[in-house]
Amino acid sequence: MAFTIDKNLSVHSVDLNVKSLETMTNYYKDKIGLSILEGSDNYASLGVKTDNRVLLNLIEVDAGGTRTKKAGLFHTAFIVPTRRDLGNSLFALLKKEIPIEGASDHGYSEALYLHDPEGNGIEIYRDKPREEWDISENGMIRGITAEIDADGVIASRDDQLVDTLPAGTRVGHVHLAVADLEDSQYFYIDTLGMQLKYEFGSQARFVAAGDYHHHIGLNTWLGTDIPKREQFDLGLTRFTLGVSTNEEMNKVKEHLNARNFTLNDEGGTFITVTDPNGIRVTVTTSE
């Protein structure tokens, strides 16, 4: 029987190596609407203050030279609880004259797309009610890319300007630019135990735990056979997945050990592995 990871899995947080900590921290605070939860001279952890949960870690690195085309982050996707919250974000971005590079209706969600000052992709989205999703009998969840109803999203906002992300905001999924779809799919499905939820031709795959539309997106839109990431490259250095219990954590660890998969790091409540693209993936528990 194939191994399956905890159906209650969530994306816990994303870690980015950055060239300018000040610039990037100010952007995610003042433009996106996160709050600084803790920090020092070389890192900042941001999230929603009322939740006191870290969603994004920014780590300043000595980045000699320019950013190169490698496997890594396509976007970090922040999910807000309601359409009203998405309307608040859209209106705040427009009022601040922050370039929005895309806005789509995906069938199961409505999403806004932009990039931070160092080129890392960002999505801010809300899920539609599950009864509106296109779910096949085999559990596949078909996505579309259609024009968003921007007027409807704006109309749903609060009367007053709200320029911070609301309580309950999480990292809903992480979308990766990968070197090889088959290798990456094998890692996230056969090694980590997620399930394939949708295939977009030969260009992209969407995988998830449980019945979500996707926790991880994989695409080759940057090209195939692009170089792997190194730990201190600018951009994505790690993301963390959260499972619900220590028992579920131990199941993952036992499965990886049985497959003789190399663990980069481990502790009582976490393990870290490296995917085929050089991206570190930590699996942890909040117990």
Q: Are strands 10-18 and 35-39 parallel, antiparallel or unpaired?
A: unpaired
102 and 148 in contact (C-beta within 8 Å)?
Answer: no
2 belongs to a structural domain: no
274 and 106 in contact (C-beta within 8 Å)?
Answer: no
Look at residue 66 and tell me whether its pLDDT is greater than 70: no
5 belongs to a structural domain: no
Look at residue 273 and tell me whether its pLDDT is greater than 60: yes
Mean pLDDT score across all residues of the chain: 95
Tell me which residue range forms the domain holding 135.
Answer: 10-285
Neighbours of 160 (CB within 10 A): 6
180 belongs to a structural domain: yes
The pLDDT score that the predictor gives to residue 225 is 84
Q: Which residues pair with 270 in a beta bridge?
A: 284
Give the percent of the chain with pLDDT over 90.
92
94 belongs to a structural domain: yes
The pLDDT score that the predictor gives to residue 64 is 64
Measured CA to CA, the distance from residue 15 to residue 244 in angstroms comes to 21
1 belongs to a structural domain: no
The widest CA-to-CA distance across the chain, in whole angstroms, is 56
4 belongs to a structural domain: no
The 3-state DSSP class for residue 241 equals strand
Which residues, 6 or more positions from 118, have their beta carbon under 8 angstroms from its beta carbon? 16, 18, 19, 20, 23, 24, 67, 234, 235
| Number of domains the chain contains | 1
The pLDDT score that the predictor gives to residue 68 is 76
Look at residue 227 and tell me whether its pLDDT is greater than 70: yes
CATH (domain of 223): 3.10.180.10
Instruction: Look up residue 14 and give its amino acid.
Output: V
128 belongs to a structural domain: yes
216 and 171 in contact (C-beta within 8 Å)?
Answer: no
90 belongs to a structural domain: yes
pLDDT digits (tens, 9 = 90+) for 16-31: 999 999 999 999 999 9
pLDDT digits (tens, 9 = 90+) for 234-254: 999 999 999 999 999 999 999
